[in-house]
Chains A and B, each alone.
Chain A
Amino acid sequence: MSIKFSADEILEMAEEMERNGANFYRQVASSFTDPNKQALLNNLAVMEDQHEDIFKQMRSELSASEKEVTTFDPDDEAAMYLRAMADGHVFNVREDPTDKLTGKETMVDIIKLALGCEKDSIVFYLGLRDMVPTKAGKDKVDAVIREEMGHISLLNKQMADLT
């Protein structure tokens, strides 16, 4: 069975992941009174907004032919990787992390949830990177991946301070 998807579909999913991420950080920021925690979480939200803009722009720059659904060989590993994610077999790309919130989470709970989301984003963008046709596009995805790695370092440091 062949594998089918379009660059438009994948970039739209990336936009949604970033939008969900930003909403998540803003919602949890508002649940704390500590200004340091609020600042950390709001800063992360702003960075996710910027990533969403990057993917939105990349999507708007796709040519008509690049937007079309492409059929890949079923043995194409890069396509299989991305398809498994887009189909939700690896994790649910379209899941809104705020749905998991009960309002009773501690900072440690929130960091754990955030780390999971950041990891999911990175593994998705690695697949997306392989599909982006231009070098400039790949560089943009690499920059987003590096920033998401930075978020993981930041969250791990916070976790270490709390535990």
Chain B
Amino acid sequence: MSISLNANEVLAIAEEVKRNGYDFYRHIEKYSTDRNTKRLLRGLALMELHQAESYARKRSELTEEQKATTHFDPDCDSWMYLRQLADSHVFDVSRDPCRTISGDWQPEEILRAAVELEKDSIIFFLELKRYVLSSDRSVKIDDMIKEEMKHIALLGNQIGLLKSNLVLSG
């Protein structure tokens, strides 16, 4: 399948990924018994929401020319393909980690489930990068990837703190 995406399409997909991310973090936050972990997950949910809103705003600022489809795709096959990819591989709240997360999970396990999904979102954005029109400089996928890396750093940092607290209390 030959796909190339314009700024409007990329931002719409990124917004959807972020909204899924918001749902995911709100969902897993409920299961965390550790106060600091809960606070971090709530913070990450808000970051996801702010990013979704920022992509929606950028989309609304695009010109009609930037929004125009640049390739022949009458049935929106490429759009559907990427949307499915976003829905099924990134922050899918119906996927296993969420289904299986319960009150029995330790905070570290919940954080690790979040790390796995952040990794998936990085891979998704790297994949998306391949489809962006090289002439379109209005979308910066590298910045989107940097946001996900920041989330991983925060999650990793919290895992480290939990481990050191465990050592201190043990």
Q: Please list the residues of chain A having a beta carbon within 8 angstroms of any beta carbon in chain B.
A: 77-78, 80-81, 84-85, 87, 89-91, 119-120, 122-123, 126-127, 145, 149, 152
Scan B12-52; emit 1 where CB is below 8 A from any A CB, else 0: 00000000000000000000000000000000000000000
Residue of A nearest to B150 (CB): A77
Given the known interface contacts A90-B115, A122-B126, the answer about A81 and B156 at a Cβ–Cβ threshold of 8 Å is yes
> Is the Cβ of B123 less than 8 Å from the Cβ of A152?
yes
Q: Which 8 A-B pairs have the closest CB atoms?
A: A84-B156, A81-B153, A89-B156, A80-B153, A89-B159, A90-B156, A89-B160, A81-B149
Q: For the complex formed, measure the closest distance between the CB of A95 and the CB atoms of chain B, giving whole angstroms.
A: 14
CB of B127 closer than 8 Å to a CB of A: yes
Main secondary structure of the interface of A (DSSP, over half): helix
Cβ contacts under 8 Å, A90 to chain B: 115, 152, 155-156, 159
Q: For the complex formed, measure the closest distance between the CB of B114 and the CB atoms of chain A, giving whole angstroms.
A: 11
Cβ contacts under 8 Å, B126 to chain A: 122, 145, 149
Interface centre among A77, A81, A145 (most CB of B within 10 A): A81
Interface centre among B115, B122, B156, B157 (most CB of A within 10 A): B156
Contact residues, B132-170 vs A (CB, 8 A): 145-146, 149-150, 152-157, 159-160, 163
Residue of B nearest to A80 (CB): B153
Q: Please list the residues of chain B having a beta carbon within 8 angstroms of any beta carbon in chain A.
A: 115, 119-120, 122-123, 126-127, 130, 145-146, 149-150, 152-157, 159-160, 163
Interface centre among B152, B153, B157 (most CB of A within 10 A): B153
Q: For the complex formed, measure the closest distance between the CB of B120 and the CB atoms of chain A, giving whole angstroms.
A: 7
> Is the Cβ of B119 less than 8 Å from the Cβ of A123?
yes
Rounded to whole angstroms, the CA-CA distance of A90 and B119 in the bound complex is 10
Rounded to whole angstroms, the CA-CA distance of A104 and B156 in the bound complex is 32
Residue of A nearest to B142 (CB): A126
Q: For the complex formed, measure the closest distance between the CB of A129 and the CB atoms of chain B, giving whole angstroms.
A: 10
> Is the Cβ of A89 less than 8 Å from the Cβ of B123?
no
Cβ contacts under 8 Å, B130 to chain A: 149
> Is the Cβ of A80 less than 8 Å from the Cβ of B157?
yes
Rounded to whole angstroms, the CA-CA distance of A87 and B159 in the bound complex is 10
> Is the Cβ of B145 less than 8 Å from the Cβ of A77?
no
Q: When the two chains form the complex, which single residue of A81, A119, A127 contacts B123, counting CB atoms closer than 8 Å? A: A119
Cβ contacts under 8 Å, B120 to chain A: 119
> Is the Cβ of B153 less than 8 Å from the Cβ of A84?
yes
Rounded to whole angstroms, the CA-CA distance of A123 and B152 in the bound complex is 9
Cβ contacts under 8 Å, B122 to chain A: 122-123, 126
Rounded to whole angstroms, the CA-CA distance of A92 and B15 in the bound complex is 31
Interface centre among A84, A89, A91, A127 (most CB of B within 10 A): A89
